[in-house]
Structure 1
Amino acid sequence: MALENVVGEAPLQEHLKQFLLVLSVALGVAAASRSFSRFRDIPYTLLLVIVGLILALLDVRLINVPPEVTLFIFLPPLLLKTALDLNWSLVKHDITIVFLCSTIGVFLTITGVTITLTSLTEISPLIALLAGASLSATAPAPITALFGRLGVNQRLVALTDGENLFSVAIAIGAFVLVMDLPTDLNFASINLIPILENVAKLAGIGLVMGGIIGLIFSYLIHRSDLRFIGRSLLLVASYGTYLLTEELGGSGVVAVIVTGFILGTYGVSEMNPHKKEVLSEFLGFVAFLVNSIVFLLIGDKINFSNLGDNLYPILIGIVTVLITRAIAIYGTTYFGNQLGYSNIKLSEQTVLWWSGLRGSISIALALSVPIVLVQSQTLEAVVFGVVLFTLLVQGLSSKWLLKRLGFLYEEHLQEKYLQLIARTVALKQILTHLNEEEMTQRWEVDPRFHQYRNCVEEELKRLEKEIEDYTNQNPSLKQVANEQLKRELIAMETGIYSAFVQSGLLSDPPPLLLPEVLQDRA
């Protein structure tokens, strides 16, 4: 019996060693990307892909994770965090365009990839459809990771994340439907009625389950006193929602997104600011951990010989994906702007187009196709090739594009501008203190008091003039000033509520009012 236990534990220990190795390498690369200045402008997820590619070239394979396990382990927390953090008050102003962009984008990608691959290569219709469905799921995480650090406006972040959420849900649903089609597919014999019924079933069960679970967990998380209970409930909400909905025959992706929306709107948003920050940081760490492992494994799974044998269909896939996404983004937003549904600038449309990276979801979907299926290796090569192009070419050029389109300011200029604002705020508080009645009565006879006060007033005027000059020379910095003012006001509101709690007048701070009010006035 003891010998059986030892034999049974050996594979488990080996798997644990492999997992810890992957975790160590992933976190090491992610930490290095923030520690060395030359790597800070590159999203850490792209560095992980590059490291994975190097390991693949050296034929060092870290761990073999089944694709279905990849989706189950990594997808729920990433979806929940994106849905939870998404600024729905911003998205709701462009919800029609965001939904249409994602829906039309998925449809055009599947259609375009299918037509070009079947027309220009010998790839079968079913494999072409599977490739199109796999590549229709966007993954802008490497670019949106730069958005927050480089000061890109929140509306563009919300548009990118919102379009990504919808496209992932629709793409995975489309892939599931295509997998049910016969291997000897003939487009003329396709019956749309069962397909539409299946779509309604997947979406309907997902919406219902996501809504029910979202409301339940909103209630539980809002009333949980201990921090670790709230964190545990978030994990249960992500994985439990996904698993339960999939077991009932619905779309786990749709359910998790709906749950995240409800939690973000009614659950976490109504908590006191400190508790909300704790839960947000925890889910952020989980997403960071998951992203680190996923993007390292993307590079590690590359089969270079397979890519080399399928360069032509890969090139066709890259061109088709870029063109279909351009049509979806520019076409939809143009008509949306003309009809008054949105007001998305051309520069914002370009960023939305270029941020349509493909990543772990596309690869997991492609790898989930049975190996016995004819041309499955070709499918993997096309998807891997397109994913590599989008990650390395589009991902690494994203900062350059943002600068060219005017979304980024010179970093030293922005830093200097914010320093001027901070000094102005500090001097205004000092001047207010010097002008208090108690101070004037106490030091009025001392000439140094008046000298100090005059000095502060003169320096304050100089700083205000310098800020005005900066703004006139660089009009784009006005957005930075607006964001800074919002943060100051929200911080002031938070501080006042905390003072009421500390004095015992309130047991818990009420939900913040200014974030929603200021957004509605924007």
Structure 2
Amino acid sequence: MIVSITLLILAVGVFAIVLARFIRIPYTLLLVVLGFVLSLFTVEFGIDTGVRASNFQDLMLFILLPVLIFEAAFALNSKLLFKFLPNVLTLATLGLIISTLVIAVILYFGIAHSGFPFIAALLTGVVISATDPVAVVGQLKVLKAPDDLNVLIEGESLFNDATAIVLFSIILSIALGQSEPDLTSAIITFSKVFFGGIIVGSVFGYIAALLVKIIDTSVPHMVVITLFLAYGTFYIAEHLFHVSGIVAVMFAALLFKKSAHDQLKDVHTGLHNIWESLGFIANIFVFVLLGLVVSLNMFTQMWLAIILAIVGAFIARVTAVYFSVWLNHVTVGQPINPKYPPIMIWGGLRGAVTIALVLSLPTELPYWWTIQSIGFGIVLFTLIVQATTTPFLVRKLNI
């Protein structure tokens, strides 16, 4: 069954590559559409693919996300990332918290019924605040957008994926009654999980860098080492130290790249190409599987909540981006081109992390279906509307 599903998803990916030559829409959106058509076909003919939201969640969190996070961190321009780090961190922390609160307030008062308490609105806010610019970044590279704009968008996504997952776990534990809604304890928990992930990832990234200094640094060797680094760091961080595996993988990739810079000179291009291919394959699985698990009932039953969330997400994104830009301007951040914020706002797509988080919601929460429907609705809206119009906006702003 696993082999059959893998072949089926890869076949959809190949078909999408062919179609992309004739249909001018983002490749990721094409994958979702084909996945959804495939799901209708299998239902119509009584074929059981074995794909369920429950097993999709494990696949997302433990197999696909480590690859996507490591590849994104490894591919980032380290010098530019360090230069714009205050801007990126402001967006990924304060920006994410502001976005979560704005969305929560709009949803809570917009839905306004007892079956959707404020804690549910907070959960929704955090899952749809995590950005995934995979569709937009590819377009920006084709349009030859400036490197600093790419770093701002990709860097924010990388860090806010990590902060969103940590914040989600804290809010979820409160919703399940496993912890008290105490601000001090929440800050302590967040610090432990987030900064613990930084320490674990940095240690393993440095150890891997030491290892490559004493072996033959061929591309095959580097692929094996970096794959083990990505999955091993994630597993040890999550299961042994109970800190953020995503944060750990991110810092493992960043520190490994920095510490082993001299050893990677001759193999960097080959290693980067292989990791880019792995990330591309992982994204095929993410978006085809999204199309397979999406249900039409989500949009017929929860259309009002989805519309409110779309409006709330846009208002929250505008608020978060411009607040972060202003704060960086008056403190220690780098000044950025005034044309960039509109691209950062409109290019803030939702994807893999949003999908993974909504699928991890326990079904004992009475409002899990509402949050899951909103999450899927937001992801599809950003892919259908925002991803397809971002190139027009870039050209309009003459970037």
TM-score, L = length of structure 2:
0.91
- Cα deviation for residue 185 of structure 1 reads 10
Name structure 1 gaps, 5 residues minimum.
1-13, 408-522
Residue 237 of structure 1 aligns with which residue? 229
Q: CA RMSD in A?
A: 2.0
Q: Measure how far apart 1:114 and its partner are.
A: 1.8
Match of 1:66 in 2: 56
Name the aligned partner's letter for residue 30 of structure 2: L
Query: Which range moves more in the overlay, 253-262 or 63-72?
Result: 63-72
Distance 1:335 1:174, change over 3 A: closer
Per the alignment, residue 202 of structure 2 pairs with: 211
1:46 aligns with 2:36: no
Q: 2:187 aligns with which of 193, 196, 203?
A: 196
The structure 2 residue matched to 1:162, chosen from 155, 174, 195, is: 155
Shift of 1:279: 1.0
Instruction: Count the aligned residue pairs.
Output: 387
- Counterpart amino acid of residue 103 in structure 1: T
C-alpha separation between the residues in 2 aligned to 1:336 and 1:142? Answer: 27
Residues 287 and 252 of structure 1: is their aligned pair in 2 closer, same or farther, counting only changes over 3 Å?
same
Instruction: Note the C-alpha offset of 1:355.
Output: 1.1
Matched-pair contact (CA < 8 Å) for 1:106–1:133: yes
**Aligned mates of 1:327, 1:311 — CA distance in 2:** 24
Aligned partner of 2:16 in structure 1 is 29
Q: State the match for 2:81 in structure 1.
A: 91
SS state at 1:181 partner = helix
Task: Write out aligned runs for 1:110-129 (5 A).
Answer: 110-121=100-111, 122=113, 123-129=116-122
Q: 1:275 to 1:370 in 2, by over 3 A?
A: same
- What whole-Å deviation, never above 9, does each CA across 1:219-252 have from its counterpart, x for those lacking one? 2234432432211111111111011000111111
Instruction: State the alpha-carbon separation in 2 of the partners of residues 117 and 279 from structure 1.
Output: 44
**What is the rounded CA distance, in whole Å, between the counterparts of 1:86 and 1:124 in structure 2?**
39
| Code of the aligned partner of 1:326 | V
Say yes or no: does 1:314 pair with 2:314: no
CA contact (8 A) 2:56 2:289 kept: no
Structure 2 unpaired stretches of 5+: none
Question: What does 1:22-421 correspond to in 2, within 5 Å?
Answer: 22-33=9-20, 36=21, 38-39=22-23, 41-58=24-41, 60=43, 62=49, 63-64=51-52, 65-121=55-111, 122=113, 123-183=116-176, 190-225=181-216, 226-247=218-239, 248-267=241-260, 269-271=261-263, 273-339=265-331, 341-407=333-399
Aligned identity (percent) is: 27
Work out the CA distance in 2 between the residues paired with 1:274 and 1:117.
52
Which residue number in structure 2 is paired with residue 501 of structure 1? Answer: none
State the shift of 1:195 in Å: 1.4
Cα distance in 1, alignment partners of residues 356 and 302 from structure 2: 19
Whole-Å separation in 1 of the counterparts to 2:236 and 2:18:
35
Report the AA paired with residue 224 of structure 2.
Answer: S
Deviations 1:17-73 (A, max 9, x none): 12221122123313542xx2x44x533212112222333444557533331331111
After superposition, the Cα gap between the structure-2 partners of 1:27 and 1:320, relative to the gap in structure 1 and judged at 3 Å, is same
Q: Within 1, Cα distance between the matches of 2:340 and 2:39?
A: 36
Give the whole-Å Cα distance in 1 for the aligned partners of 2:370 and 2:38. Answer: 22
Distance 1:369 1:46 in 2: 24
Q: Counterparts of 2:215 and 2:347 in 1: how far apart (Å)?
A: 38
CA distance 1:266–1:369, change in 2 (3 Å): same
Q: 1:42 to 1:224 in 2, by over 3 A?
A: farther
- Asked whether the equivalents of residues 298 and 360 of structure 1 are also in contact (C-alpha less than 8 Å), the reply is no
Amino acid at match of 1:283: W
Change (3 A) 1:355 1:223: farther
Q: Which whole-Å CA distance do the structure 2 matches of 1:77 and 1:222 have between them?
A: 24
Do 1:43 and 1:145's aligned partners in 2 also have CA atoms closer than 8 Å? no
Cα distance, 1:372 vs. partner? 2.5
More deviation, 205-214/115-124? 115-124
CA positional deviation for 1:295: 1.1
| Paired residue type of 1:43 | P
